[in-house]
RNA sequence: GACCUCGUAGCUCAGCUGGAUAGAGCAACUGCCUUCUAAGCAGUAGGUCACAGGUUCGAAUCCUGUCGGGGUCGCCA
C-alpha cells in the first residue's frame, strides 16, 4: 500500500465526517524542509466547505487524523498549511522490507507494453560530435528507464548512409586520397572519412570563390532557365533587403546556387545518380568507406556504452513509403498536383501544405519516414515509438505524426518525438564548416585523462593493479561526462564550455560514485554478519528518517522520469540521495556505533542507499566503482 | 512575415500539472581530516525569477502583450 495514497484516504474520510461530502481529490505535498512534518495538506480550497478559518479547519482535520489514522503521529498548522508527521515505525518497516530487495527501483507501469527507442541515427560521412553524444546518452538512458519501468524495449538506429553528403567524402577521397586507408594512416575510420569530407568542403569553397564574388555583385549567369530565374529573384531581394539577418540568408542562398553549379558539385551529383543506378565501382567505394566509418562508430559506441537491437539503413529504406503515398492518394488523404507531385494539406491543423512525393516520383525525407514508421510497427508490434531527434525537427515530426493519424494508422498515437535541445558553445552553435565542433572521441579521452590526473593527485588507490586503475579512470571520466549532459532537462538547450573542464566535484557523476564507494568501504569492513539478520531500530534519528524518506521516493522518481522521458529527473534524485546520505554519514557513525541494533540498522540503511545509487546510475548508463 | 521554444544568483542548472521565507553546484570567503574515503560535510556572501499587465485567498509557475536569445517555415536530410 502506497503511503501517500493511504494518507490521502484518511484525509478524505476525515473531511467527509467533518464537513460532509467532499468532491475534490485530496492533493498532498511533501512538507517544505523548513517546517516539521512529512506531508502537507493545503486547506485553502476547503474553506468554502468548512465555512471556517484556515487554522481551525486545518486543526480539525489534524485532530481527526491523529485520532483515527495510525500512521499519523502528530501534526502542526501554519496558516492554512496542515503539516502531518508520520509515525517513525513506518520508516523502520519500510527499511526492514526493502533494504535488500534486489528489485527495488523496478516498477511496473510499462508491464506488457513494448516500445521502440530510435536514437543516434548518424550520418556516415563524418565522426560523431558532442551533439551526437547528447543524443546517444539520452537514447540509452531513456531506453533504460523504459526497461526498468517494465516495458519491453527495442533500441533502434536508423543510419543515414546514403545521400549527397556521403558522395562528397567519396569524391574527395577519389581525387585527393592517394589510396589512404585507416590501416595505412592509423586513423580511426570515421575520422578518415570525415577528413575527406572537410577536404571536399575546402576544395568546393576554393573552386567557387571567384564565382561567388561575382554572383554577389550581380555578375553571374547560371546555367539553365530555372537557375537563372531563381538567381534573379534572390539577387533582386538582396538588393531590397535591409535587415542584416535577411541579407546573410540571401547571400547564403546565392552561395548555395553557385556551389550547386560548380564542376565539383556536379561530379558529386553524378556520383549520387550512379550510386542509385547501382554502378559497381561507386557501390564498391561506398561499401568500403562505409565500412571504415562503421568500425570507427563501433569504437565510439562501445566506449560510450551505446548499443542497438535493430539497425535500419537508409540505403535500404529510402524507397519505402511510396506505396503508402499511393494508398493515401486513393483514400483522399493526399492529392496530386498538375506537375505530378503529391501533397497533403494540413492547413486546417494549423500547418502548411506539405510535399510527400516529388513530381518525378522520387522520395523526400518524409516519404521515407512514413514508410519506415509502418515497417517498425509491422516488424516489432510496438505500442509506442520514441524518436530521439533534435528540436530543429519539431515541425517535421509534427507533420509526420499528423500524416500517420490521417492515414488511420492505429499506432499514430503511440509515436513521440523526444525533442532535445542543441548543445551550444560559448561562441554559439557548433558548425563543422567553421571547425567549431567538439569531437566525441577527443572529448571522452580528455575526460578520462582528467579523471586520471585527478585520481593520481588524490593518491588513494594504492593496491590497485594497472588494469584496475585504467578501468577506474575510464569509469570516472565517462561518469563526469554523462552526468554533465544528462543532468539538464533534455528539452532545453545546454551550454558546453570547452575552456572550463567538466567538474569532478559537486553535482557530478563522480560525486555519486564517491558516495557509493564510501559505503562499499564500510560494508567491506562490516563483512557478512549478523547485521543482516538483526532487527531494525525503530527509534530513528531525524537524519536517519530523512535518508529513508529519500529512498522511499525512488520508485516514484523512476516513474516520473520514464513518463517524462527525462533522465534529468534521475540525476537530480541521485544528487539528492547522495547528499542526504553524506550528511547522515557525517552526523551518525556506523561502524563506531556501540549499540548493536542501531549499528545494524545503519548498515542496512547504507546498504539500501548503495543499491539505490547503483540502480540510478545504471539508468544513466554510468557504472559504479568499488573504490576511488 | 507566420509559427514553435527559451529567458531564475557572476557562471552552469533545479523548481514550472499555482502554495509557505525561490534552491543546488561551480567560482569567492570561513571552519571541519590522531575517529567508517575531505572527489566529503558545515557555514558566509550572492536574486526586481527579462519587463509590463491580467486571472485569485495565493503566481517563478497559468493568460495577454513587449523586449531579448535560439529554431522552423526546402521538390536538403
The 3-class SS string of A407-465 reads CCCHHHHHEEEEEECCEEECCEECCCCCCCCCEHHHHHHHHHHHHHHHHHHHCCCCCCC
Q: Please check the confidence at residue A1 and state whether its pLDDT lies above 70.
A: no
| Reported pTM | 0.95
Q: Which residues in range 502-541 of chain A are in contact with strand B, contact meaning CB within 7 A of any of its atoms?
A: 503-508, 510-511, 514, 517-518, 520-522, 525
Buried/exposed A257-278: b ≥16 CB within 10 Å, e otherwise: bbbebbebbeebeebbebbeee
Mean pLDDT of chain A: 93
Given the cut 0.85, state whether the ipTM is greater than it. yes
Q: Please check the confidence at residue A432 and state whether its pLDDT lies above 80.
A: no
CA A180 to chain centre: 37
Model confidence pLDDT, tens digit, residues A473-531: 999 999 999 999 999 999 999 999 988 889 999 999 999 999 999 999 999 999 988 89
CA A364, A370, A371: angle at the middle one, nearest 5? 95
- Tell me the C-alpha distance between A297 and A311, whole Å: 13
Q: How far apart are the first and last CA of chain A?
A: 39
Query: Which has the closest alpha carbon to A274: A423, A174, A341?
Result: A174
pLDDT for position A23: 67
Q: Which residues in range 269-288 of chain A are in contact with strand B, contact meaning CB within 7 A of any of its atoms?
A: none
The number of residues in chain A equals 628
Q: Which nucleotides in chain B lie less than 7 Å from some protein C-beta?
A: 3-6, 11-15, 19-21, 24-27, 35-42, 57-58, 69-77
Q: Which residues in range 551-580 of chain A are in contact with strand B, contact meaning CB within 7 A of any of its atoms?
A: 568-569, 572, 575, 578-579
Q: Are strands A342-345 and A353-357 parallel, antiparallel or unpaired?
A: antiparallel
The domains found in chain A, sorted by start residue, are 3-86 (3.30.1360.70), 163-277 (no CATH), 440-619 (1.10.730.10)
A591 touches strand B (CB under 7 A): yes
Lateral strand order in the sheet of A494-495: A428-429, A423-425, A494-495
Cell of A220: 553571374
**Mean pLDDT for the stretch of residues A52-69:** 92
**Mean pLDDT for the stretch of residues A23-37:** 84
Q: Which residues in range 170-229 of chain A are in contact with strand B, contact meaning CB within 7 A of any of its atoms?
A: none
A491 touches strand B (CB under 7 A): yes
pLDDT for position A22: 66
- CA A509 / C1′ B13 distance in Å: 15
**Mean pLDDT for the stretch of residues A153-174:** 95
Q: Are strands A28-30 and A39-42 parallel, antiparallel or unpaired?
A: antiparallel
- CA A418 / C1′ B22 distance in Å: 29
Residue A437 DSSP one-character state: -
Cell of A176: 585527393
Q: Please check the confidence at residue A59 and state whether its pLDDT lies above 70.
A: yes
pLDDT for position A429: 84
Cell of A542: 531525524
Model confidence pLDDT, tens digit, residues A550-569: 999 999 999 999 999 999 99
Q: Please check the confidence at residue A255 and state whether its pLDDT lies above 70.
A: yes
- CA A442 / C1′ B10 distance in Å: 30
- CA-only gyration radius of chain A, Å: 30
CB A627 within 8 A of CB A521: yes
pLDDT for position A349: 87
Q: Which residues in range 364-383 of chain A are in contact with strand B, contact meaning CB within 7 A of any of its atoms?
A: 364-365
Model confidence pLDDT, tens digit, residues A382-395: 999 999 999 999 99
- CA A34 / C1′ B21 distance in Å: 9
A431 touches strand B (CB under 7 A): no
Cell of A92: 523502520
**Mean pLDDT for the stretch of residues A344-364:** 90
Amino acid at each position: 500500500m502506497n503511503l501517500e495514497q493511504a494518507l490521502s484516504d484518511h484525509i478524505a474520510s476525515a473531511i467527509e465526517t467533518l464537513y460532509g461530502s467532499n468532491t475534490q481529490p485530496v492533493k498532498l505535498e511533501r512538507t517544505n524542509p523548513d517546517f516539521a512534518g512529512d506531508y502537507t495538506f493545503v486547506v485553502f480550497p476547503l474553506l468554502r466547505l468548512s465555512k471556517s478559518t484556515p487554522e481551525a479547519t486545518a486543526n480539525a482535520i489534524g485532530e481527526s487524523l491523529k485520532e483515527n489514522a495510525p500512521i499519523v503521529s502528530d501534526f502542526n498548522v501554519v496558516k492554512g498549511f496542515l503539516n502531518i508527521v508520520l509515525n517513525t515505525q513506518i520508516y523502520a518497516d519500510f527499511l526492514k522490507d526493502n533494504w535488500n530487495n534486489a528489485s527495488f527501483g523496478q516498477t511496473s507501469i510499462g508491464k506488457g507494453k513494448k516500445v521502440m527507442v530510435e536514437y543516434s541515427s548518424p550520418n556516415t560521412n563524418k565522426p560523431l560530435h558532442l551533439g551526437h553524444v547528447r543524443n546517444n546518452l539520452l537514447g540509452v538512458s531513456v531506453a533504460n528507464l523504459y526497461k526498468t519501468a517494465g516495458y519491453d524495449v527495442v533500441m533502434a538506429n536508423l543510419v543515414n548512409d546514403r545521400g549527397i553528403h556521403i558522395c562528397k567524402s567519396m569524391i574527395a577521397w577519389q581525387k585527393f586520397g592517394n589510396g589512404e586507408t585507416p590501416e595505412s594512416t592509423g586513423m580511426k575510420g570515421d575520422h578518415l572519412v570525415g577528413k575527406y569530407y572537410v577536404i571536399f568542403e575546402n576544395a568546393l569553397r576554393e573552386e567557387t570563390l571567384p564565382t561567388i564574388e561575382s554572383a554577389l555583385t550581380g555578375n553571374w549567369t547560371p546555367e539553365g532557365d530555372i537557375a537563372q530565374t531563381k538567381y534573379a529573384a534572390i539577387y533582386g531581394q538582396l538588393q531590397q533587403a535591409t535587415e542584416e539577418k535577411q541579407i546573410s540568408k540571401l547571400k547564403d542562398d546565392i552561395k548555395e546556387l553557385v556551389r550547386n553549379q560548380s564542376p565539383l558539385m556536379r561530379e558529386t551529383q553524378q556520383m549520387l545518380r550512379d550510386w542509385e543506378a547501382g554502378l559497381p565501382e561507386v557501390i564498391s567505394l561506398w561499401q568500403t568507406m562505409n565500412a571504415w566509418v562503421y568500425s570507427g562508430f563501433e569504437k565510439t559506441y562501445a566506449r560510450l556504452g551505446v548499443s542497438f537491437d535493430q539497425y535500419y539503413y537508409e540505403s535500404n529504406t529510402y524507397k519505402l513509403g511510396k506505396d503508402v503515398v499511393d494508398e493515401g492518394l486513393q483514400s483522399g488523404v493526399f492529392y496530386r498536383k498538375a506537375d505530378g507531385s503529391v501533397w497533403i494539406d494540413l492547413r486546417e491543423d494549423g500547418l502548411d501544405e506539405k510535399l510527400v512525393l516529388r513530381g518525378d516520383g522520387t522520395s523526400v525525407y518524409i516519404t521515407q519516414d512514413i514508410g519506415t514508421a509502418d515497417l517498425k510497427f509491422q516488424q516489432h508490434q510496438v505500442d509506442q515509438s520514441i524518436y530521439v531527434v533534435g528540436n530543429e525537427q519539431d515541425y517535421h515530426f509534427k507533420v509526420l505524426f499528423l500524416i500517420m493519424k490521417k492515414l488511420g494508422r492505429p499506432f499514430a498515437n503511440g509515436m513521440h518525438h523526444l525533442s532535445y535541445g542543441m548543445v551550444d558553445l560559448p561562441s554559439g552553435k557548433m558548425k563543422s564548416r567553421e571547425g567549431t565542433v567538439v569531437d566525441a572521441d577527443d572529448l571522452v579521452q580528455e575526460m578520462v585523462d582528467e579523471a586520471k590526473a585527478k585520481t593520481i593527485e588524490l593518491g588513494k588507490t594504492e593496491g590497485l593493479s594497472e588494469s584496475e586503475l585504467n578501468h577506474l579512470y575510464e569509469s570516472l571520466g565517462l561518469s563526469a561526462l554523462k552526468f554533465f549532459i544528462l543532468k539538464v532537462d533534455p528539452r532545453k538547450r545546454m551550454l558546453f564550455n570547452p575552456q572550463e573542464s567538466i567538474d569532478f566535484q559537486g553535482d557530478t557523476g563522480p560525486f555519486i560514485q564517491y558516495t557509493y564507494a564510501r559505503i562499499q568501504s564500510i560494508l567491506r569492513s562490516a563483512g557478512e554478519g549478523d547485521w543482516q539478520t538483526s532487527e531494525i531500530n525503530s527509534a530513528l534519528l531525524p537524519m536517519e528518517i530523512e535518508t529513508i524518506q529519500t529512498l522511499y521516493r525512488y520508485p516514484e522518481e523512476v516513474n516520473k522520469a520514464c513518463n517524462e522521458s527525462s533522465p534529468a529527473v534521475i540525476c537530480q534524485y541521485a544528487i539528492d540521495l547522495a547528499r542526504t546520505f553524506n550528511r547522515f554519514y557525517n552526523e551518525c557513525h556506523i561502524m563506531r556505533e556501540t549499540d548493536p541494533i542501531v549499528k545494524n540498522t545503519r548498515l542496512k540503511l547504507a546498504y539500501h542507499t548503495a543499491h539505490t545509487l547503483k540502480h540510478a546510475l545504471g539508468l544513466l548508463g554510468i557504472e559504479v566503482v568499488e573504490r576511488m
